[in-house]
Amino acid sequence: MSAQPPDGAPSPDSFESVFDVYEVRQQDGQVLYFGDPATDRQRLIEAVWPAFREYGYEVRLARRTGETVLVAEPHDAGDDGVPWTNVALFVATLVSTLWVGATWYYVQDPFSPDILRALPFTLAVMGVIGTHELGHYVMSRYHDVDASLPYFIPFPSLFGTMGAVIRMRGQIPDRDALFDIGVAGPIAGLVAAVVVSVVGLVLPPVTVPPEVINSPSAVEVQFAYPPLLQAIAAVLGEPLSYSDPARSINPVVMGGWIGMFITFLNLIPVGQLDGGHVLRSLVGDQAGRIAPLVPTALFGLGAYQLFVADVGDAAGIWILWGVLTTVVTFAGTVTPVDDSPLDRRRVAVGVLTFVLGALCFMPVPIQVIG
């Protein structure tokens, strides 16, 4: 047995006051420090993390064969090589949104070059979603947190995608980093959604073919508009609907609608959603007491709409999100290494972000009639 680490790894002497190491091993690219902690888990990680990061390692506390061990893995905040999975999903989502967008532009033959008429819709949707995830990615790199490029999720229905995600690995160094990474996505995505909404509102409406309007199998999908989108339309003096059923708003506007709806959903303050990160940064451990109230509110909203307001299947979205947020709540939040409070500027930005998220709320986002 050895108590000496390999070259390029921190010496146990640098953190002996909080962790008494009696053995060091190398295994599968990891450096394992077996020892006895002299303090609780949070204070221990807070004390040893700077030393390991200085040497280029991420560190976590674990149990191996009944012993306490610090597991150190090489830290890498970049992406090596071509991210083929990300590229493939991006292309698939590009095709998926283009295909679905053809129905928004009433393209009769989606296998014809006419499908390119839907390109503005595709660019609007993917631009808003991509900007949201890029905000997270840029802030992750800024704070030297290991994060992947965005993974787009193709879905050939309604909008052609279910959004995108990035994958973060390793420890979050402090509340500032947790806040910046969490808030950057919604703010960047919302700015993009506003820009897309403005562009879409000034573009001419699309014409609904008579055969679509008069088809006996046609169904009407009604979209509510969030207060923020209504305000943009009012400032521009542009309508969000037309009395003539043969006219419909430009589908680019729906790119902004999607961005605003995604912003609201991501800012739900639970677990590892963006809102959960922001709330955890603002109030610390108190976030664990607030989060369980969220699923209760969502179930209550869904039940009210289902049994009192009688909005039919539209209530299902909040019941579904009640289930999802319950799962996310039990999964817990991220605990940064340094849990010192945020400064006043970040607190103000956090409160403003939640207010902007509330302006994207729609009690009944979508209803299918017919």
The answer as to whether 257 is a domain residue is yes
Under the banding of pLDDT at 50, 70 and 90, the label for residue 131 is very high
Same domain, 160 and 226: yes
Q: Is the pLDDT of residue 212 over 90?
A: no
Can you give the pTM of this predicted structure? 0.90
Same domain, 46 and 164: no
Domain boundary at 29, 51, 74, which?
74
The answer as to whether 365 is a domain residue is no
Same domain, 31 and 91: no
CATH assignment of the domain containing 28: 3.30.200
Distance CA 118, CA 103 (A): 8
Same domain, 181 and 40: no
pLDDT tens track for 310-334: 887 888 999 999 999 999 998 888 8
Q: Is the pLDDT of residue 68 over 80?
A: yes
Same domain, 39 and 185: no
The answer as to whether 196 is a domain residue is yes
Same domain, 49 and 111: no
Domain total in the chain = 2
Same domain, 53 and 182: no
Distance CA 316, CA 271 (A): 22
**CB-based contact 2:34 (threshold 8 Å):** no
The answer as to whether 92 is a domain residue is yes
The answer as to whether 164 is a domain residue is yes
The answer as to whether 338 is a domain residue is no
Q: Which positions ≥6 away from 156 have C-beta within 8 Å?
A: 96, 99, 100
Same domain, 49 and 90: no
The answer as to whether 280 is a domain residue is no
The answer as to whether 334 is a domain residue is no
Domain boundary at 33, 52, 74, which?
74
Q: Is the pLDDT of residue 169 over 90?
A: no
Same domain, 191 and 118: yes
Q: Which positions ≥6 away from 101 have C-beta within 8 Å?
A: 118, 119, 121, 122, 125, 160, 251
Mean pLDDT of 109-131: 94
Mean pLDDT of 120-141: 96
Same domain, 70 and 93: no
Same domain, 110 and 247: yes
Mean pLDDT of 233-246: 92
Domain of 130, in residue numbers: 84-267
Distance CA 161, CA 129 (A): 10
Same domain, 96 and 70: no
Domain boundary at 34, 50, 74, which?
74
Q: Is the pLDDT of residue 136 over 90?
A: yes
pLDDT given for residue 370 in this prediction = 61
